[in-house]
Amino acid sequence: MFGLDFVSKTATHLVRTFEDNVRQGQQQLEKWLGDTGMMEDTKLSTLSEISDAYRTMAEDLLLHPLRFASAEIDLARKHLGLARYTLTRLTGQPTEPVAEPDPDDRRFLAEDWHRHLSFDVLQQAYLINSRAFLSWVEGMEGLPGPGRDQVLFYARQLTSALSPSNYPLTNPEVLRITWERKGMNLVDGARNLVDDIRQNPNLFNVAMTDRSAFEVGGNLATTPGKVVYQNELMQLIQYSPTTDTVAQRPLLIVPPWINKYYILDLTERNSFIRWLVDQGQTVFVISWRNPGPAQKNRGWDDYMELGPLAAIDAATEATGEQQMNAIGYCIGSTLLGTTMAWLEKKQRNPIVSTTYLTTLLDFSDPGGIGVFINDHSIRGTERTMERKGYLDGRAMALTFNLLRENDLFWSYWTNNYLKGLKPKAFDQLYWNTDGTNLPARMHSYYLREMYLHNRLVQPDALTIAGESIDLSAIRVPSFFLSARQDHIAKWKTTYRGAGVYGGDVRFVLSGSGHIAGVINPPYKERYGYWTNNQLPGSPDDWFDSAEHHPGSWWPHWREWLATFEGEQVQPRQPGEGPLEAIEDAPGSYVKVKASEAGG
């Protein structure tokens, strides 16, 4: 006992000394590289966190050798089973594999992986080793929840990167294609790589869709309308009516500015905006500017005042209506909630109903993005934004892609560069790659006050445009739509936010994820949704008593909205009222790329 205790204390002392020395050296190197401009602070911060994660793994190995030894024994047992599997297959007898991919893992679907014994064994060995490694990391002791998530995230990035499917010599499907095409797939892959580098100067992103298949204003964002108002941060689009009469109260949409508004106006059959217009709504949509260095000091207050508040005034002037309905999406909904609380404090009521699509108001569990929500990461992002004036939207897109790295990065790596194929044309993925930059002051506020400190749900914890705000004071009826597989705004967290919100609240849960769960037109008859007119304290209790419905949630929401839209009136043509048309929809702001806005 004394010997083991002495060894444990000695190991602990050595590890702590090693950790202190490495951390000091790491901080000095990070500061030097940042000061000399040899590497961006955001990248330095990420590399530092990766280093911390792998160092934590090494420390756990030293401090808990018995647990590691136990894991090694289990791993050896599985490899022994793989050896028996190999011998059985060599004798021509059928046998069950030792390790199989998860049902949603598409990396090893090709028959080539199973036809050839060597590659079958290779992919099973990879699965055995990667699962053992991740299981060992998950069992590490003494890590708080956020730290554990971060270590697991970087461990998963390592195992995913090392998959044999990612390399030409260890991927039998790629080897077969290379033989059949006499190597031209690799030549085409090199062309695709060069094109991606050219499309994303200074910040590499792999193409996820055929960019040549889409054009904003050509076959995307084609719903007819006019830009009727604009300021430094946004253009306001009013859409042309398609019905003989329209609802009295107009409908204002506040989309996210992390991406562009036309996620709501994709190809004609998938356009939520076009569907709304065809339902007899007078639709106004904010099209946010793609900001650059000149917008560095624009903050959350500015986005509220120059965004929803300016749009409310413009829509009122254009239609003569003093009240309207409003929809927010993602961060646009977070801003809409902020605006509603501010209007309540001002005792103003221009909005009679609000709809929140996949919305975080409570940030206590921010989903996968939480691995980047810590003071060190945010400081690195802030230092980069201080120099440039903004966060490059392409970096944000890559961050979100790495939350599902095998589906949203490595699958395209293999398809585009190893197989030499062009990615398929897919409107949602085109939008996903058409990112926007984020002004330094606004994004720093959003990361710290919302994500890090979760102050939006705390009464009077935030002061916006001179007023302290309280979401629970809002009395306007609201409709919350969340998505069951959403990894960005997890539905149980959005449910908690809906519970904080004042007024009558209707919560509905859609199938699928952050995008497909929202953009689900009725003709597809997909995913379904759950309803429950009660709002118990627990999201699990809500779901247990919820009723499932097939198809799209759009018609269900339309029935709810009818209560607030007023009488039927004559349709309003954009540009024929007090506000003159500036240009045709989709306007010019939406066409500016992130790299162009950055200068």
Residues 6+ apart with CB under 8 A from 466: none
By CB neighbour count within 10 A (0-12 exposed, 13-18 middle, 19+ buried), where does 577 fall?
A: middle
Return the H-helix or E-strand segment holding 63. Answer: helix 41-63
φ and ψ of 349, to 5 deg: -135, 55
By CB neighbour count within 10 A (0-12 exposed, 13-18 middle, 19+ buried), where does 447 fall?
A: buried
User: For residue 6, what are the CA distances in angstroms to 1, 12, 159?
Assistant: 9, 10, 35
Helices (H), 64-143: 65-90, 112-115, 117-138
φ and ψ of 464, to 5 deg: -120, 125
The torsion angle over the Cα atoms of residues 279, 280, 282 and 286, rounded to 10 degrees, is 10
φ and ψ of 197, to 5 deg: -65, -40
Q: Is 25 a catalytic residue?
A: no
What is the number of H-type helices and E-type strands within the chain?
Answer: 22, 17
- Nearest partner of 471 among 588, 331, 360, judged by Cα: 360
- Tracing tokens 């254009």 back to the chain, one arrives at 318
> How open is the CA angle 143-147-148, to the nearest 5 degrees?
65
By CB neighbour count within 10 A (0-12 exposed, 13-18 middle, 19+ buried), where does 71 fall?
A: middle
> In the structure encoding, which two tokens stand for residue 454, read together?
């979760």
Residue-level length of the chain: 599
Cis peptide before 586 (omega within 30 of 0): yes
Residues 6+ apart with CB under 8 A from 396: 258, 435, 438
Residue 294 CB coordination number (10 Å):
14
Pairing type for strands 478-483 and 505-510 reads parallel
> In the structure encoding, which two tokens stand for residue 205, read together?
């992103």
Please pick, among 128, 208, 330, 471, the residue that the annotation labels catalytic.
330
Distance between CA atoms of residues 272 and 275, nearest Å: 5
> In the structure encoding, which two tokens stand for residue 365, read together?
């569990």
Active site residues: 330
